Amino acid sequence: MAAAANGPIVVVTGGNRGIGFEISRQLAARGARVVLTARKTTAGEAAIEKLTKEKLAAEFHALDVTDGKSIAELRDFLKDRFEHLDVLINNAGIIAKGENDALKVDLATVRATLETNTLGPLHLAQELAPLLKRSKSGRIINMSSGMGELSDNSGGHAAYRLSKTALNGVTATLAAELRGTVAVNSVCPGWVRTDMGGPHANLDVADGADTAVWLAMDAPQKLTAKFVRERKVIPW
């Protein structure tokens, strides 16, 4: 083992690939007790195996963020296993196939994108808040995107943009309701070379994971209700 896993207990959604896997990797390397979740068991177990080969430990639990039963099962598992939770990283996200400009996008595409990118994180926060409140430094980190920034909107990819703007709304509202107990922030990871970001993105996954890992492990607990990129607060 690289480090004794006695650090914070962290749940990462969409941990099987991309930024979520890298966040899990970096957290495990720093001794966090990572619960790596994925909707496909085979993909989640393969991710754990990859970490094991690097002598890193994480625990897998199945989670589809759009499925209430799956969220309840994760909650019950965490309650039995740890009795509390320190950090929830809502990383899982999609850009749907039917993506388009706001004037053209099919509303079914918007609804499906909201289900994963916005309502999934909200539902997880609802179910896991009681466990997060038992932590001495509870944190929720919502993987948003610069494409959800109201102050810098160039149009296009409307379903995704709206879902991330709404996710920022979830962040601000939860932060207000949880002030003094759980810090809640949104992150823009930058443009990152993953399946979603594509091969031409300017950042590698290590850089893309950095701010979320910093918020999970190092940021001051009083930092809450913010939108953060490269460890700095940016406009909503």
Q: With beta carbons less than 8 A apart as the criterion, state whether 141 and 185 touch.
A: yes
By the rule CB under 6 A, 62 interacts with ligand NAP: no
Compute the C-alpha angle 77/133/137, nearest 5°: 105
Q: How many CA atoms lie within 13 A of 90 on its CB side?
A: 34
By the rule CB under 6 A, 118 interacts with ligand NAP: no
DSSP 66-83: T-HHHHHHHHHHHHHHTS
Instruction: Report the nearest approach of ligand NAP to the CB of residue 6 (Å).
Output: 27
Residues 213-232 that bind ligand NAP (CB under 6 A): none
Q: Which is nearer to ligand NAP, 126 or 221 (CB)?
A: 126
- 160 an active-site residue? yes
Query: Please, what is the angle between helix 18-29 and helix 41-53, to 10°?
Result: 40
- Alpha carbons 72 and 171: distance in angstroms, whole number: 21
Site string for ligand NAP, 183-202 (x = CB under 6 A): -----xx-xx-xxxx---x-
By the rule CB under 6 A, 121 interacts with ligand NAP: no
Task: Name the one range near ligand NAP by CB under 6 A: 33-41, 53-61, 151-159, 173-181.
Answer: 33-41
Residues that bind ligand NAP (CB under 6 A): 13-14, 16-20, 38-40, 43, 63-66, 91-94, 116, 143, 145, 188-189, 191-192, 194-197, 201
